Structures are given as C-alpha cells and as structure tokens.
Structure 1
Amino acid sequence: MSQETIPPQDTALLIVDLQNDFVHPDGAYARGGQGAPAIAALPARLAPLARGLQASGGWVVSTQFTLVPGKGGEPIVSPHLLSLRPFLRKGDFQPGAWGHQLVDELQPADLLVEKVAYSAFYMTRLEWVLRKSGIRRLIVGGIVTNGGVASTVREAHVRDIDVTVLSDGCAAFSAEVHDTAIAALRPVCRVATIAEAMAELGAA
C-alpha cells in the first residue's frame, strides 16, 4: 500500500477503540444515548480483514480507550470529555472490565494497548510494541474518524510509519464529519477501502 513492498507479516490492522462501552447495545455510550448505525456496522465490516490478515501472518492491534480508576475507584475523566459525555460513571472503560474489552466480533487481537487520549501514541507503549514486533505498516480502522483515528494516523505519519486509513472501516457520529475527516487525512496517509486492503494483502 505504499511504494515499498511490505509483507503481511510486517503489517497490522490497528483497530481504534471498538470496545463494548463504545459500540455494544449494553455499553456506556448506548446507555447515554450516543451511537450511530455506521459505528455499529464496523465490527462486522472489519472482521474479514482482521481474520484474513492474521491468517497471512499479520497482526491485529487493538487500542483500548481507558478511564483510569482514581481514588475510590472513581474514573479520572478529562474535563472536556466529561462536559461532552456527562453520563460516564464509575466502571466505564475500566481496565479489565467487560466494557473496556474489544468487541467479540473482532476478538482475538494480537496486541492490546491502553490509551487515555485521542491519539493511540500519546503516553502509551504503542510505538514500542510496533517496533519490537517488526510491524512497519498500519492499516487503521475504528472510531471516531475525526478523533481517535485522525489523531493516531497523524502521529503515525510523523513517526515515519507507513499508514493507510480505511475509508469504509472508520466511522463518526455523522457521515459529513466522517467524510471531512477522511479528506483531511489524505495529505498524510493513503486512503483505501477494506476490499482494496484485502486484495493487496492477499487476505481476500
């Protein structure tokens, strides 16, 4: 997916934040009335690519948005996030909890990385595990296109990691926001469809 040929064994599907608390009907965001059909459709859409890439010797890496429990177990929530999502409460996105986990349709991932902000690189071990695992190319899908996906893709770019974003493997809370975010990412990454990624990796 770049001018350099990078084999599937050195490629990872980076799944951004497709966790139960975000996506599942019993998760925190559904409880708060936050959701979108395009987001709900992503796990089934990405699953064939995930399984095909793993069968070809590649990787599935899942980022897990995390609300770190503080004193008394109350989650540490950034003020801006709390103002946007006042429904968040104790136990949501808690490490080890059901809501924190990757959705069943995309299990198992080969690597899990907890994150506390939009970018999966910010104050995490993501770059370290990618380098140590020999992963040189990322194919990125997940949520939301204008948030965690965009921030992560831009940081991969500045770290000289070959990165492709999946135009139909990401979603936002509106199609307009998604389309605008994808257009804005074109200068820093390749944009492809899931079908194109599978064909190029031989994972179809």
Structure 2
Amino acid sequence: MSDATIPVEQTALLIVDLQNDFVHPEGAYGRAGQTAAPIAALPERVKPLADALRQKGGWVISTQFTLVPAKGGEPIISPHLKQLRPFLKKGDFAPGAWGHQLVDTLQPADLTVEKIAYSAFYMTRMEWVLKKCNIHKLIVAGIVTNGGVASTVRDAHVRDLEPVVLSDGTAAFSEHVHDTAIDALRPVCRVATVAEMTAEVLAA
C-alpha cells in the first residue's frame, strides 16, 4: 500500500510518550530537572496536526510509558533505566496516575496504548488495535527521537505500515542527537514537518 493511497480515515497521529511525568514541570522528570526546551515545546507544536486529524476523521493515538507497580506499589524498573534515571520512584508513570496521562494540550486521544519499553509495539496491544481500527499510516510525534520514536518507527516499518516521522514534532535532550536520529530514520520512513502533514490532512 503506497503512502499516497492511504485515506485520512486510516491515518493516525501516534504520540509517543508526551506524558505529564515526562513533559510537565511538576512531573517526575521536571521535578528532577530533566528537561529540554525542544521537548517542552512539542505539545503546542503538534496540536494543529492533532486537531486536523480529528476534523477530517483520522485518529489520535497516545502511547503511555508505564512503570508497572509490583508489591506495595513499588515500580518495576529495568536496571538500565534505574541507572540512567535514579530519581524515578513509587507513583511515577503509574497506570491511571496524573503523571502517566497524555498532556492536556493534546487530549483527548482516541486510543491509548501502555508500553513498557522504547517501542510502542513491544509486548503491547498496538498491533491489535491498529488492525481492528483499520489504521495503516502512522504520523509519529513525541519523545525521544533516538529512543521511543526511533524504535516505534522501525517496528512500524517492518510491519508494512506507512510511518512518517515529524522532524519538528519529535525531540531529544540535545539537538545533535535529534538530528542524527532523524537522518538515521530516512531509509525506513518519510520525514516531514508538522506544517506539511497538517496541510496534507486538511486537503484530503
């Protein structure tokens, strides 16, 4: 199925991890001082595309990074993540909690998929949801470009979906890392801007 033949009704904006615990100043990362201006700017930048898809009958899907609570509510944290982010604690990224939710600017999502690793496809219901809703094209926004975004885009590519990554609708903690990740994705997906995709959706 070529990119040009996929109707907007079979197209989704896939928002990767734009959650309060990542983005909001009072979330887990904000409290720890783990912020970056390009990341903070994403919700407002991506909003016009989300609104356009809603207007034209497309989909908005939010993936929610999740720390699964175990006994006593203590989160199950992979060793590599614990080493990288030692500030993560009980209640952070917990299912149903405020920090776990999509930021207000981009709500509501039509579909929400919890994830436990970089890729939104790894051990999640994403593939099942896309099939049931007849979604074939994913316009990917969110964070971080070299982590959750890149892993999700590559997994979409090998599943014969049509991924488009937003060069200005994704971000990392440094511009250099972001730019390198975008360049590395060019062989497996289309790279476009939020404005370009918004115009295409509205023209559909």
Same fold flag (TM > 0.5): yes
Q: CA deviation at 1:170?
A: 0.0
Distance 1:18 1:96 in 2: 15
**Alignment length, in residue pairs?**
204
Secondary structure at the aligned position of 2:9 is classed as helix
Secondary structure at the aligned position of 2:120 is classed as coil
Contact 2:121 2:155 (8 Å CA) reproduced: yes
The equivalent residue for 2:71 is: 71
Asked if residue 103 in structure 1 is aligned to residue 103 in structure 2, the reply is yes
The equivalent residue for 1:12 is: 12
The equivalent residue for 1:87 is: 87
Residue 183 to residue 203, structure 1, CA distance change in 2 (3 Å): same
Residue 203 to residue 4, structure 1, CA distance change in 2 (3 Å): closer
Secondary structure at the aligned position of 1:52 is classed as helix
Q: How does 1:46-195 map to 2 (within 5 A)?
A: 46-195=46-195
Q: CA deviation at 1:203?
A: 6.3
Amino acid at match of 1:100: H
Distance 2:149 2:3 in 1: 23
Identity of aligned residues (%): 75
Contact 1:68 1:75 (8 Å CA) reproduced: yes
Contact 2:120 2:152 (8 Å CA) reproduced: yes
Q: CA deviation at 1:32?
A: 1.2
Alpha-carbon deviations, 1:64-101, whole Å to 9, x = none?
A: 00000011100000000000000000000000000000
Amino acid at match of 1:114: E
Distance 2:113 2:101 in 1: 11
Amino acid at match of 2:177: V
Structure 1: 5+ residue runs without aligned partners?
none
Distance 1:84 1:3 in 2: 38
Contact 1:66 1:100 (8 Å CA) reproduced: yes
Contact 1:22 1:29 (8 Å CA) reproduced: yes
Amino acid at match of 1:191: V
The equivalent residue for 2:198 is: 198
Q: CA deviation at 1:4?
A: 3.5
Q: CA deviation at 1:3?
A: 4.4
Distance 2:33 2:87 in 1: 9
Superposition TM-score, scaled by structure 2 size: 0.98
Secondary structure at the aligned position of 1:157 is classed as helix
The equivalent residue for 1:32 is: 32
Q: CA deviation at 1:60?
A: 0.1
Contact 1:9 1:59 (8 Å CA) reproduced: yes
Distance 1:116 1:203 in 2: 36
Q: CA deviation at 1:143?
A: 0.1
Secondary structure at the aligned position of 1:99 is classed as helix
Secondary structure at the aligned position of 1:87 is classed as coil
Superposition TM-score, scaled by structure 1 size: 0.98
Contact 2:145 2:172 (8 Å CA) reproduced: yes
Alpha-carbon deviations, 1:92-141, whole Å to 9, x = none?
A: 00000000000000000000000000000000000100010010100000
